[in-house]
Structure 1
Amino acid sequence: MKFITLLVSLLVLAGCASGPRIDTSHPSVNQDNRIQFVVVHYTSASLERSLALLTRGEVSSHYLVGDDKNATIYKLVDENRRAWHAGESEWQGRTWLNSSSIGIEIVNPGFTDTPTGRVWYPYSEAQVQSLIFLLKDINKRNGISPRQVIGHSDIAPLRKLDPGPLFPWKRLAEAGVALWPNEQAVAREQARFAAQLPSISWFQEQLSHLGYTTPQTGELDVATRHVLAAFQMRFRPTLFDGTPDAQSAAILQVLNQTK
């Protein structure tokens, strides 16, 4: 009897140890990829310093594009894991984008303030080519549309300027990996808006519709100027002073009508 009791106990324990059966034959159709966006940054540091900061500091990114002759791509964090590159951020109503994005840092000094004004530093042709190669791969694997490739200044316009006005958004758009407005359509809309500039409320609504977190006050407050300047730096980098004008209105209109 003792033997039978012991045998039953062992069988029960064995069943508990193996756990319940997990049935995977009913996958839900209501799901999508955790990765919704790609966020591009510059490092404001040398390659050596950038690698140190992104691997042993308090921040990180999934990829780093170097400034060597071949613009080497360094993979620093697996795409399935969260990297700390976005900080306090928001885009299209989603907050804290570390959890829903892939971060790409590019070795670039950013800018230098001089007595004659701010000097921005360009990206090398090798860096542009490496970035296009990387984005094509990331976007294809994760179903990322060109509209979902954004800059750090887009998601944090009150505190960030990267990747800056010299970042080649138009080149990326021509390669099919980023968003850029149709310039002929912009010219047509600009002529119309030159006759009657929309209200501040209109600008705020259109910026919000595009994805920017924008106050809806109807006033050209400091926050709205920052958001408009970030938008202008992205899509009209020759002038990004945060002042509403016909060309900015035309670009907004065209982008928001683009599928």
Structure 2
Amino acid sequence: MRRLLWPLVLALLLAGCAGEKGIVDRQGYQLDTRRQAQGSSPRVRVLVIHYTAEGFATSLATLTGREVSVHYLIPAQPPLHQGRPRIWQLVPEQQSAWHAGSSFWRGATRLNDTSIGIELENRGWQETAAGRTFAPFEPAQILALVPLARDIIARYGIRPQDVVAHADIAPQRKDDPGPLFPWRALAEQGIGAWPDAQRVAFYLAGRDPHAPVPMDSLLELLGRYGYEVRPEMTPREQRRVIMAFQMHFRPARWNGAPDAETQAIAEALLEKYGGERAASGSRA
């Protein structure tokens, strides 16, 4: 009799559980999600901002092909639908997109696996008689970016220092989104890092902002903040790292020269956000 009753009792128990919080029915099985492991971490840790260096139609074709991809693409002038700007999602956030390439940030590599990428339609830079000049970003495009970036940051708990430029994670290859991207304005809206002006002035300590500082000491600070700094780097590679940092945090002067203001900004950022901590479990 007990053998006959047990399946019925079990079925009734399972039926009761199905209505409980944390019990999820699937086709052919049921999940109990009420006990979650402590030994876990979110897959997405980094938000990477890019520019396309191409028009929208060409960018859309490139980013939906087989070579490269990105999670989101924002036109220079996003079309409005019911008063809201339209953004193209090309890869679901749960999947990796091929946007970061060979990259490094805060001890982590393989950033395609741990990041979300946003491409902004922008022609990038051009060589002119005055040197390399970058194209500005359209205000409507930045207005569309803000709520998207905020949502991503909130969903994954992304820290300010892990909202980065493509140039930050690949300074030897990339310049995007360049010195005209409004990092400071976005930081004021909770998107990304920015140093406190008073602390920059404190660390500058009355020095001429453009006074030279030792290359090694500046690179040590940038390496602690998150940039890839290697002992065997050539002088050109060292300057590329500094230039990437300056385009992000000191866009008025991004010549790659190690100077007192760049050093003071790095020190203020380290004080505010702390030093290197791996953004994922992947290591070089």
The TM-score with structure 2 as length reference comes to 0.78
SS at match of 1:56: coil
Aligned to 1:210: 225
Runs of 4+ in 1 over 3 A off after TM superposition: 21-27, 192-199
Aligned equivalents of 1:207 and 1:75: distance in 2?
A: 33
Aligned to 2:92: 78
Q: Indicate which of 167, 172, 176 corresponds to 2:181.
A: 167
Larger mean Cα displacement after TM superposition, 25-34 or 98-107: 25-34
- The reply to whether residue 117 of structure 1 matches residue 131 of structure 2 is yes
Q: Shift of the alpha carbon at 1:198?
A: 5.1
Asked if the contact 2:78/2:144 (under 8 Å) is kept, the reply is no
Identity, in percent, stands at 42
What residue identity is the alignment partner of 1:229?
Answer: M
Q: Shift of the alpha carbon at 1:25?
A: 6.2
Asked if the contact 1:87/1:98 (under 8 Å) is kept, the reply is yes
Aligned equivalents of 2:207 and 2:162: distance in 1?
A: 27
Asked if the contact 2:214/2:258 (under 8 Å) is kept, the reply is no
Asked if the contact 1:204/1:216 (under 8 Å) is kept, the reply is no
Asked if the contact 1:200/1:220 (under 8 Å) is kept, the reply is no
SS at match of 1:41: strand
Q: Indicate which of 147, 156, 177 corresponds to 2:161.
A: 147
**Structure 1 23/189 Cα, relative in aligned 2: closer, same or farther at 3 Å?**
same
Q: Indicate which of 26, 36, 45 corresponds to 2:54.
A: 45
Aligned to 1:199: 214
Q: Shift of the alpha carbon at 1:135?
A: 0.6
Any unmatched runs of 5+ in structure 1? 1-20
Asked if the contact 1:169/1:234 (under 8 Å) is kept, the reply is yes
Give the helix-richer structure, 1 or 2: 1
- The reply to whether residue 253 of structure 1 matches residue 267 of structure 2 is yes
Larger mean Cα displacement after TM superposition, 84-93 or 107-116: 107-116
Asked if the contact 1:205/1:216 (under 8 Å) is kept, the reply is no
Asked if the contact 1:193/1:250 (under 8 Å) is kept, the reply is no
Q: Shift of the alpha carbon at 1:89?
A: 0.4
Q: Shift of the alpha carbon at 1:27?
A: 3.2
Q: Shift of the alpha carbon at 1:241?
A: 1.3
Q: Shift of the alpha carbon at 1:239?
A: 1.0
Aligned to 2:71: 62
* Deviation by residue 1:207-258 (Cα, 9 ceiling, x = unmatched): 01110001246x9822211101110111011111111111001000000000
Q: Shift of the alpha carbon at 1:199?
A: 3.4
* Deviation by residue 1:119-143 (Cα, 9 ceiling, x = unmatched): 2100011111111111110011111
Q: Shift of the alpha carbon at 1:24?
A: 6.0
SS at match of 1:258: helix
Aligned equivalents of 2:73 and 2:200: distance in 1?
A: 34
Aligned equivalents of 1:25 and 1:72: distance in 2?
A: 37
Q: Shift of the alpha carbon at 1:57?
A: 4.1
* Structure having greater relative contact order (Cα 8 Å, sep ≥ 6): 2
SS at match of 2:64: helix
What residue identity is the alignment partner of 2:63?
Answer: L
Aligned equivalents of 1:64 and 1:203: distance in 2?
A: 35
Q: Shift of the alpha carbon at 1:194?
A: 4.8
- The reply to whether residue 101 of structure 1 matches residue 115 of structure 2 is yes
What residue identity is the alignment partner of 1:138?
Answer: I
Q: Shift of the alpha carbon at 1:190?
A: 1.1
**Structure 1 201/192 Cα, relative in aligned 2: closer, same or farther at 3 Å?**
farther
* Deviation by residue 1:130-181 (Cα, 9 ceiling, x = unmatched): 1111111001111112211001000000110000010000011010111111
Aligned to 2:106: 92
**Structure 1 54/97 Cα, relative in aligned 2: closer, same or farther at 3 Å?**
same
Aligned equivalents of 2:190 and 2:245: distance in 1?
A: 20
